A and B are shown apart, each in its own frame.
Chain A
Amino acid sequence: MRTLVVEDQLDLAEEIKSYLDKESFHCDLAQTYASASEQLAINKYDFILIDLGLPDGDGMDLLQEAKKTQDTALFIIITARGEVQDKVTGLLSGADDYLSKPFSLLELKARMQAILRRKSGWTESTFSFGGFTLDPQSRIVKFKEQVIDLTKKEFDLLHFLLLHRKKVINRYQLAEHIWGEYFEDDHQSNFIDVHVKNVRKKLGAFAPTDWLETVRGVGYRIQL
């Protein structure tokens, strides 16, 4: 997937590129409105990530311009602006999603995949793991043909871990994905641990769940 990251903060742009490249998104960078406009005129992109606060123009105008030439591209606004109105304007202007800074890179990938699923008809394949299956479309987890009753949060947690299998997902990334950016989770609280424990318990009634590892002091990882 060819992706254009329009971000004036080089540090951040490079980190996003570094992460997405490893996730098989081929990334180009643009730090200004002008350079982004130039790249949009030359290349065809599948994904365009636009920061609203560019030094030589407004990201919202760039979005309008890009919508004209990149008719099949998917757009995500990544911005530090906190105003609700910006979000509404962005989405009304044709953005597919809006991600407020600071965000987790894992969250960015999850959002990109969700948009692909929603907009491009790309059906994310059912996840198979340890004899279980998880269908993101119908939000059902099964062991063979038996449906396992997970709560909304338990499902989201398992799905997020599966999206990033073989990677350690720390508790902050999990909390942010499940409860959003305003959730107050201090390091001492065990809210995430309880939900993971319940997932283990519910799935463990059907088959071993040793593939869901606890990485001490950090978080969790699905090692399959």
Chain B
Amino acid sequence: MRLSTKMILFNLLAKGVILIGFYLAGPYLVRKYAIDYTDDRLREKKSQVLAIVEEAGIENFFQDDSVSGYGSYNLLKEEYISLEKILDPVPIDSIFDEERIIEDDIVSYRVLAYTFDDNGSMYLMEIGRSLATIQQIEKVISTFILVAFFIFIGTSVLLDTTFHSLLLRPFHKIIYKKIPEIREPSNYTYEPLHTKTTDFKILDEAINQLMMRIQQVFNREREFIAHASHELRTPISVLQSKIENMMAETQLHEQDVQRLMDMLQTIQRFKHLVNSLLLISKIGNAQYIRNEDVDLRQIVQELSEEWAPVAKEKGLDFLTHTASSVIIRESNYSMVLMMIQNAIINAIRYTPANGSVNLSVYREKESTVVEVNDSGKGIPPDLIQQVKSGMVFLKDANNEKSGFGLQIMHKIATYLDVGLSIVSSDQGTKIQFTFKTT
């Protein structure tokens, strides 16, 4: 997953956690705030009522002796105030929720109850505010906060995304433009990154310096290869030409011809060794182009046409299964052909008569797989390990001559960014080449 995507997701997650926290704790907090606010208002009113009582005298609220209390409420019964003479002198000063019956209506109130002494008589004062009013306040506050919160999250996500995109632009340039060029050091561009972020500058400079060193090593290696190849290939060429001209002589005895063939065979082995080493080195140095469109079906058909008769001659079943045309972009036809061909040659070579070799192409999610499987004696695990570790001279304890086929196959796959899987047992070998087709 890309860093920018991760950062946006992380931001969303963090804000989501805050949102959930608010969703869970919000109603409680808002309610607490509304209750506290109401309680403060009730206490203020208590003070106001007490001041009025003191100023006007309690008797003004009890004009008629038959009335033992005073009550007042507004039209919508949202608030009420009551005064009542009590006989039990219990001191009360509390606020609580309670229901009251007013004109046959049961209404829930937040009630402040307070007892006080006036001229030796105890009075109970109650000031109530309907809970419906409090809940209304709660709802208004909650809606306001929720809307404000969503606007905040939306705006911050938008700003974060824009900011991350701007901030990470130099980093994306490193990842998507410079890093892919590492595969071909000779094509690497050393143009410095234009950024004011010090960290990215350091990263860019470090990669450039690293690539410069790699480039120097590659250049030395290339020079060595060119020199060594000239030194080795020219004498081989002289020997090969001499033997070919000698063999063209008509008066040679059969025995002499056979001797010359033996010499040619030795030269051929030497030539193959030099060519293979050079090929491995050149692939490692990224000297081959990768700008061709390669049709896998065409390659499989060509290989099948070429190798099915050889397999049949050996008494092997050679089955081919191809899907519809599959084009691989930015590849190299000869390299792909050589890579798959090496797998087929190995399969035919090491599968005994009456066995089978299958070559198939099939699609798998976002890739296409070319599979070569056989019922041969299998490749020793340590040999597969040596191939994967990049060893050039493979040591096969079971086989005197290991060849370079597997190593060339592995190098080409790595160079062309093709997934290579080798699964082998004494029941056979399955080699899969996975090409990205999207």
- A residues sitting closer than 8 Å to B (CB atoms) are 9, 11-12, 15-16, 18-19, 22, 53, 80-85, 100-106, 151-153, 167-168, 170, 172-173, 181-182, 184, 186-187, 189-191, 193-195, 197-198, 215, 217-218
For window 307-366 of chain B, which residues contact chain A by CB distance below 8 Å?
Answer: 309-310, 313, 338, 342, 345, 349
Say whether A101 contacts B338, CB under 8 Å: no
**Taking the nearest CB of chain A, how far is it from the CB of B156, in angstroms?**
54
The residue in chain B whose Cβ has the minimal distance to the Cβ of A105 is B244
Decide yes or no whether B302 CB sits under 8 A from chain A: yes
Contact of A102 among B225, B233, B310 (CB under 8 A): B233
Contact of A191 with B310 at beta-carbon distance under 8 Å, contacts A18-B245, A218-B257 already known = yes
Contact of B234 among A9, A151, A186, A197 (CB under 8 A): A9
Contact of A102 with B236 at beta-carbon distance under 8 Å, contacts A19-B248, A151-B306 already known = yes
For window 209-249 of chain B, which residues contact chain A by CB distance below 8 Å?
Answer: 222, 225-226, 229-234, 236-242, 244-245, 247-248
**Chain A residues with CB under 8 A of B401:** 186
CA A152 – CA B236 in complex, angstroms? 30
Contact of A101 with B261 at beta-carbon distance under 8 Å, contacts A15-B241, A153-B306 already known = no
The residue in chain A whose Cβ has the minimal distance to the Cβ of B346 is A184
**Chain A residues with CB under 8 A of B258:** 217-218
CA A18 – CA B246 in complex, angstroms? 11
CA A193 – CA B279 in complex, angstroms? 27
Say whether A102 contacts B226, CB under 8 Å: no
Say whether A189 contacts B349, CB under 8 Å: yes
**Total CB contacts across the A-B interface at under 8 A:** 123
Other contacts beyond A12-B238, A102-B240: 6, CB < 8 A: A18-B245, A19-B241, A182-B408, A184-B404, A194-B310, A195-B309
Say whether A80 contacts B309, CB under 8 Å: no
**Chain A residues with CB under 8 A of B349:** 189
**Taking the nearest CB of chain B, how far is it from the CB of A27, in angstroms?**
13
**Taking the nearest CB of chain A, how far is it from the CB of B392, in angstroms?**
15
The residue in chain A whose Cβ has the minimal distance to the Cβ of B246 is A15
Interface size class of B (residues with CB under 8 A): 35 or more
**Chain B residues with CB under 8 A of A18:** 245
Decide yes or no whether B278 CB sits under 8 A from chain A: yes
Decide yes or no whether B268 CB sits under 8 A from chain A: yes
Contact of B405 among A19, A83, A172, A184 (CB under 8 A): A184
**Chain A residues with CB under 8 A of B247:** 168, 170, 218
**Chain A residues with CB under 8 A of B265:** 172, 187
**Chain B residues with CB under 8 A of A198:** 309
Decide yes or no whether B377 CB sits under 8 A from chain A: no
Contact of A85 among B239, B245, B287 (CB under 8 A): B287
Task: List, sorted by A's number, 18 A–B pairs whose CB atoms are closer than 8 Å.
Answer: A9-B234, A9-B238, A12-B241, A19-B248, A22-B248, A80-B231, A82-B225, A82-B226, A82-B278, A83-B226, A84-B282, A102-B239, A106-B244, A181-B275, A184-B272, A184-B403, A195-B310, A218-B261
Decide yes or no whether B80 CB sits under 8 A from chain A: no
Say whether B310 contacts A152, CB under 8 Å: no
**Taking the nearest CB of chain B, how far is it from the CB of A132, in angstroms?**
20
The residue in chain A whose Cβ has the minimal distance to the Cβ of B305 is A151
Decide yes or no whether B276 CB sits under 8 A from chain A: yes
Decide yes or no whether B15 CB sits under 8 A from chain A: no
Q: 0/1 per residue, B94-114, Cβ < 8 Å to A? A: 000000000000000000000
Say whether B237 contacts A101, CB under 8 Å: yes
CA A146 – CA B402 in complex, angstroms? 45
